[in-house]
Structure 1
Amino acid sequence: MDSRLDNAPCGYFSITDAGIIREVNQTLLNMLQHDNPELAGLHVESVLSVTNKLLFHTYFYPHIQLYGQVNEMYMSLRTNSGGDVPVLLNGIRRTRDGESRIDIVVVEMRKRIEHEKDVLQTKVKLQELYQATNEANKRLELLNEEYERKQQELMLINSRLEAMATTDPLTGLRNRRYFQDHLTTLLAKHQDSGQPLSMLIIDIDHFKHINDTYGHPIGDIVLAKLAELLQSMSRETDIIARFGGEEFVAILPETGKEQAVDIAEALCRATAATPMDDYRITISLGVATAEVGETNGTLVKKADTALYASKSGGRNRVTHAGDL
């Protein structure tokens, strides 16, 4: 870790989506009374009280999965000696080296706010329940059962948020992750049933020129407008997704070579004839139809090779991999 970040005037740590701490700076270690980076590798719950675990799971995780960041969250961290440190917490979700990470900055708060008082009161009540008589222990068991039920509900909410995480925010189409997962599923069905399966890779011609000439905001408008057109012309069973940059993909279940080429050519013509706001574009398409023993990688590669042939052949055209 960079020495400036390690000794920054605020605490810092990063966790995985599963809650495992990967990095922690010296400032946070000092704040939590730890002498060395022993927190790395532990679960984030190791620095949270029971009450704050509930707060973290019911607010922080769902919010950062949905919006990608959390700002000004007030809570308490647990020190090595068992004490509490009131903090202001900001977090943001990023992908580094192929792994999703949540970076969290922690600022110690000297004055407790009303929200923190409520959390502390809840903590006291939980401690009283743990220290009570047999009757109170029975009540605590009921509380734990309720907590487990809420955890199950939370897992359901998180799964819904995960579905939202498979949507491209700019175009509203499915993203590359969703495409790859469903291509695997549909290829398996194709191998079992023998029903045809085709896919398209769609690339905007000279898109770099649009960005360089008119700016990225105009490029974003063109991407969004093309996404609307592709979605409007798709069938209910088709899956249209943004593959990355100016490339889109379409999975066409129960679609053979000739029908897939017809669909691709219709998209090519419609794009050339449809204004994208105040701009006109054309697209090049590569088409591939699955064969016996096909995999995600081989099918995508064939479609990509066909797209390259369309680009090399003059653009604004359709090429099927089987014709190469």
Structure 2
Amino acid sequence: MDERLNLAPCGYVTISQEGMLIDMNKTFLQMTGFMYEEIAQKHIETIMSKTNKFIFHTYFYPYIRLYGHVEELFLSLLHKDGQSVPVLLNGKKANREGIEVIDCVMVSMGKRIGYEQEIRLAKKQLEEAFREKELALSKLEELHEEIEEKQERLIELNGKLEKLAITDKLTGLKNRRYFHIKLEEMIMQFEQNKQSFSLCLIDIDHFKQVNDTWGHAMGDQVLERLAKIAEETVRPKDTVLRYGGEEFIVLLPLTNAQEANHQAERLRLEIEKTTWPIDEITISVGVATYTSEDTRTTVVEKADHALYYSKRNGRNRVTHINDL
């Protein structure tokens, strides 16, 4: 780590997507009282209280996955001697040599008005609890149940929020955000196990004419129906996604170039023979198969190039980049 960053006036840590401490500067170690060897490769939540684990787990992770960054998260770390170390945390996702990590900056916080008010309120509640023990115990039980209910509700809402973030509202298919997540997983599997995979980039032919002639409501119906036909036609292991506008993508795991062409042609024929409430609907398809020379960018560019060839050469056809 750069010496200036190592001695910066704020704590700096790098954690994995799972929360494991990968690296940290001297300032962070001084803030927490630990030696580097004592917490390296340990989960960051091991130096948090239960309350702060809950905040970190139910807010930090979902937010960083959805938006890629978290700003001004107030929480407390546990010092080696057991004392609480309040900090203000900013975090941001980063990519280091193909591995996604999270960089976090932590500024130590002194006494704050809100924090002092919480202490005074807790002290007052404690005094009342001693005076009215039975009432206090009853109240604590109610609060415990309420916290559990809210925690369950928060987890449920986070799950719904995450699902909405990766789902196309119109068609119900997974969206472009999910595509990038899934593509990254398939590339990792390829690098680890050499599991070949392909993808099809699909564009509805003359879709602008559908909107101009029949209106956007009919255009939406075409998109919804095409999405349903695609899901019913592909194999169970394949994933259909809406890439944007009238473009769709089909991810084909464990599929070589020849098999990918066959699957794309099956879908093209199914769309062509379908009876539509308007003029005939057809699709053009560009196919690419991932190789060791590809990246997540180049494989999409290849499929896009093959799609452009299909559209330029009469539409309603399938083109694999290998055939160009």
Using the size of structure 2 for normalisation, the TM-score is 0.57
What one-letter code is carried by the residue in structure 2 that aligns with 1:223? Answer: L
The Cα shift of 1:129 comes to: 5.8
What one-letter code is carried by the residue in structure 2 that aligns with 1:266? Answer: R
Question: Given the superposition, is the C-alpha separation of residues 142 and 293 from structure 1 closer, same or farther in structure 2, using an over 3 Å criterion?
Answer: farther
What one-letter code is carried by the residue in structure 1 that aligns with 2:218? Answer: I
2:237 touches 2:252 (CA, 8 Å); kept in 1? Answer: yes
CA displacement, residues 231-258 of structure 1 (integer Å, 9 cap, x when unaligned):
1101111110111100000101111100
The Cα shift of 1:166 comes to: 2.1
Aligned residue for 1:241, secondary structure, equals strand
Question: Given the superposition, is the C-alpha separation of residues 293 and 153 from structure 1 closer, same or farther in structure 2, using an over 3 Å criterion?
Answer: farther
Query: Which residue of 124, 129, 133 corresponds with 1:133?
Result: 129
Matched, 1:311 2:322: no
Aligned residue for 1:284, secondary structure, equals strand
What one-letter code is carried by the residue in structure 1 that aligns with 2:145? Answer: E
1:241 corresponds to? 241
Aligned residue for 1:133, secondary structure, equals helix
Question: Given the superposition, is the C-alpha separation of residues 146 and 294 from structure 1 closer, same or farther in structure 2, using an over 3 Å criterion?
Answer: farther
Backbone CA RMSD of aligned residues: 2.6
The Cα shift of 1:160 comes to: 2.4
Query: Hey, what's the Cα distance between the residues in 2 that align with 1:133 and 1:297?
Result: 62
The Cα shift of 1:202 comes to: 0.4
The Cα shift of 1:141 comes to: 4.5
1:201 touches 1:307 (CA, 8 Å); kept in 2? Answer: yes
What one-letter code is carried by the residue in structure 1 that aligns with 2:153? Answer: L
2:166 corresponds to? 166
The Cα shift of 1:147 comes to: 4.3
2:285 corresponds to? 285
Query: Hey, what's the Cα distance between the residues in 1 that align with 2:186 and 2:153?
Result: 30
Count of residues paired in the alignment: 201
Query: Hey, what's the Cα distance between the residues in 1 that align with 2:186 and 2:244?
Result: 21
Return 5+ residue gaps in structure 1 as ranges.
Answer: 1-56, 58-125
Query: Hey, what's the Cα distance between the residues in 1 that align with 2:250 and 2:197?
Result: 11
Within a 5 Å distance, the mapping from 1:67-106 to structure 2 comes to: none
Question: Given the superposition, is the C-alpha separation of residues 132 and 284 from structure 1 closer, same or farther in structure 2, using an over 3 Å criterion?
Answer: same
2:152 corresponds to? 153
Query: Hey, what's the Cα distance between the residues in 1 that align with 2:151 and 2:200?
Result: 39
1:225 touches 1:277 (CA, 8 Å); kept in 2? Answer: no
What one-letter code is carried by the residue in structure 2 that aligns with 1:132? Answer: E
Question: Given the superposition, is the C-alpha separation of residues 132 and 195 from structure 1 closer, same or farther in structure 2, using an over 3 Å criterion?
Answer: same
Query: Hey, what's the Cα distance between the residues in 2 that align with 1:320 and 1:152?
Result: 50
Matched, 1:204 2:200: no
What one-letter code is carried by the residue in structure 2 that aligns with 1:149? Answer: E
Query: Hey, what's the Cα distance between the residues in 2 that align with 1:171 and 1:138?
Result: 51
1:321 corresponds to? 321
Query: Hey, what's the Cα distance between the residues in 2 that align with 1:149 and 1:272?
Result: 53
CA displacement, residues 187-236 of structure 1 (integer Å, 9 cap, x when unaligned):
21122111110001100011011111111111111111111110110111
1:170 touches 1:224 (CA, 8 Å); kept in 2? Answer: yes
What one-letter code is carried by the residue in structure 1 that aligns with 2:158? Answer: S
What one-letter code is carried by the residue in structure 2 that aligns with 1:133? Answer: A
The Cα shift of 1:130 comes to: 6.5
Return 5+ residue gaps in structure 2 as ranges.
Answer: 1-57, 59-121
1:288 touches 1:303 (CA, 8 Å); kept in 2? Answer: yes
1:228 corresponds to? 228
Structure 1's consecutive aligned runs of 4 or more residues displaced over 3 angstroms after TM superposition are: 128-131, 136-148
2:234 touches 2:267 (CA, 8 Å); kept in 1? Answer: no
The Cα shift of 1:145 comes to: 3.7
1:284 touches 1:318 (CA, 8 Å); kept in 2? Answer: yes
2:233 touches 2:270 (CA, 8 Å); kept in 1? Answer: no
What one-letter code is carried by the residue in structure 2 that aligns with 1:155? Answer: L
Using the size of structure 1 for normalisation, the TM-score is 0.57
Query: Hey, what's the Cα distance between the residues in 1 that align with 2:205 and 2:286?
Result: 13
Query: Hey, what's the Cα distance between the residues in 1 that align with 2:305 and 2:158?
Result: 36
Sequence identity percentage: 41
Query: Hey, what's the Cα distance between the residues in 1 that align with 2:243 and 2:126?
Result: 53
CA displacement, residues 16-59 of structure 1 (integer Å, 9 cap, x when unaligned):
xxxxxxxxxxxxxxxxxxxxxxxxxxxxxxxxxxxxxxxxx9xx
1:191 touches 1:293 (CA, 8 Å); kept in 2? Answer: no
Query: Hey, what's the Cα distance between the residues in 2 that align with 1:172 and 1:193?
Result: 31
The Cα shift of 1:149 comes to: 2.6
